[in-house]
Protein backbone atom coordinates (compact mmCIF):
# COMPACT_ATOMS: atom_id res chain seq x y z
CA UNK A 1 0.00 0.00 0.00
CA UNK A 2 1.22 3.47 -0.91
CA UNK A 3 0.49 6.30 1.50
CA UNK A 4 0.62 10.02 0.75
CA UNK A 5 0.81 12.14 3.90
CA UNK A 6 -0.07 15.80 3.42
CA UNK A 7 1.05 18.28 6.07
CA UNK A 8 -0.94 21.46 6.68
CA UNK A 9 -0.16 24.23 9.17
CA UNK A 10 -1.94 22.54 12.08
CA UNK A 11 -2.91 19.07 10.86
CA UNK A 12 -2.11 16.26 8.45
CA UNK A 13 -4.07 14.00 6.11
CA UNK A 14 -3.28 10.53 4.80
CA UNK A 15 -4.39 9.06 1.48
CA UNK A 16 -3.98 5.32 0.79
CA UNK A 17 -3.48 3.85 -2.69
CA UNK A 18 -2.91 0.41 -4.15
CA UNK A 19 -0.90 1.66 -7.12
CA UNK A 20 2.20 3.81 -7.06
CA UNK A 21 1.00 5.74 -10.12
CA UNK A 22 -2.16 6.89 -8.32
CA UNK A 23 -0.14 7.94 -5.29
CA UNK A 24 2.31 9.93 -7.39
CA UNK A 25 -0.54 11.83 -9.07
CA UNK A 26 -1.79 12.91 -5.64
CA UNK A 27 1.74 13.74 -4.51
CA UNK A 28 2.14 16.09 -7.47
CA UNK A 29 -1.00 17.99 -6.43
CA UNK A 30 0.44 18.69 -2.98
CA UNK A 31 4.02 19.61 -3.95
CA UNK A 32 6.23 20.75 -1.04
CA UNK A 33 3.57 19.68 1.49
CA UNK A 34 3.56 15.88 1.21
CA UNK A 35 5.61 12.71 1.44
CA UNK A 36 5.15 9.33 -0.21
CA UNK A 37 5.71 6.10 1.71
CA UNK A 38 5.12 2.37 1.22
CA UNK A 39 3.89 -0.16 3.75
CA UNK A 40 3.02 -3.84 3.59
For strand 2-7 and strand 12-17, is the pairing parallel, antiparallel, or unpaired? antiparallel
pLDDT of residue 15: 97
| pLDDT at residue number 36 | 98
First to last CA, the chain: 6
Residue 32, domain extent: 2-38
In the chain, how many domains are there? 1
Q: What pLDDT was estimated at residue 6?
A: 98
Residue 34 CB coordination number (10 Å): 19
Whole-model pTM over 0.85: yes
pLDDT in tens, the chain (40 residues): 999 999 999 999 999 999 999 999 999 999 999 999 999 8
DSSP 26: H
Full DSSP string of 1-13: -EEEEEE-SS-EE
pLDDT at site 16? 98
Report the pLDDT value the prediction gives residue 32, as an integer from 0 to 100. Answer: 93
Amino acid sequence: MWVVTVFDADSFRCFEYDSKEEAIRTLEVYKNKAILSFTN
